[in-house]
Structure 1
Amino acid sequence: MNLGDRLQAVADFVPQGSRVADIGTDHGYLAVELVKSGKAKFVVASDKNTGPYEAAVRTVRENGLADNVISVRLGDGLKSLRPGEVDTVCIAGMGGALMVEILEGSPDVVETLDAL
C-alpha cells in the first residue's frame, strides 16, 4: 500500500512496536500500513464520521486484518479510547486548534501516552 508522502511521514514517526490510535483515520490506510509493516502491534482506527468509519472498516477487511489487530471505531477524538489502551496517538490532516481541542478533551488518555 502506498501511503503517499504525508501519511508516510506520520508513519515514520511512530515508534517500533507501538500500540497506536489513528485519530481521524479516514480510510484506514495508516492503520493498515502500521500493522503490515510490523511497526504497530495494535491500532485503533477512529473517525467521528460514518462515511470514513465505513471506509476504514472496508480497508481493514480487504487487507485481512482482524479486530484484535485493528479496531475500527466510530468516535470523536480520543473519546473512543480507554486510558492506557494505546501508547502512541497520530492526529494528522486537521488544523492545530482542532488537534488541541481533541487532546484537551481527554486528559486521562493523554497522560498515559508515550508519543504523539
Structure 2
Amino acid sequence: MIKQSHRDRFAAQLESHTVQAAQIRKLRSAPRLVPFHQFVEVRLAETVVFVGTILNISISGAKITLRPNPGLFVGALVRIGSRLATVVRAIEGGIAVQFVEPFPADNFDERIRP
C-alpha cells in the first residue's frame, strides 16, 4: 500500500510537469515572423563564430541555418547576435534556439534584431 506522503509528492510532481508543459506550449505557439535583417553571427563560447541566417523568429526563440553547419549539440549555450540562447533542436542545416530572456512583446516586429 502506498503511503499518503508518497501520493502527495507524486501528485505535486505531476502538477509541476503539467504547468511546465503548458508554459512550453504557450512559448512555442508564439507568432513567428521573418525579420528584415536575417543575417546573424552565432557565437559559441564567445570565440567560435558561425555565420547564420534567421529563417524565422518569435519572442522566445529562432530557427537559424548555419554556414558551415557545426552540428551544435542540444543544450549548448550560444549567443545569437547580442542575445543568449540555448540550442533546443538540431534542424537540417542549422539549429533551433530558445532565448534565455524572451523579447518584450510590445516592440516585436519584422525590424527586430537579436
TM-score range, shorter chain: under 0.3
Indicate the structure whose relative CO is greater, using CA pairs within 8 Å and at least 6 residues apart: 1
Looking at CA atoms only, which structure, 1 or 2, has the larger radius of gyration? 2
| Normalised TM-score (structure 2) | 0.23
Query: Quick check: which one's strand share is greater?
Result: 2
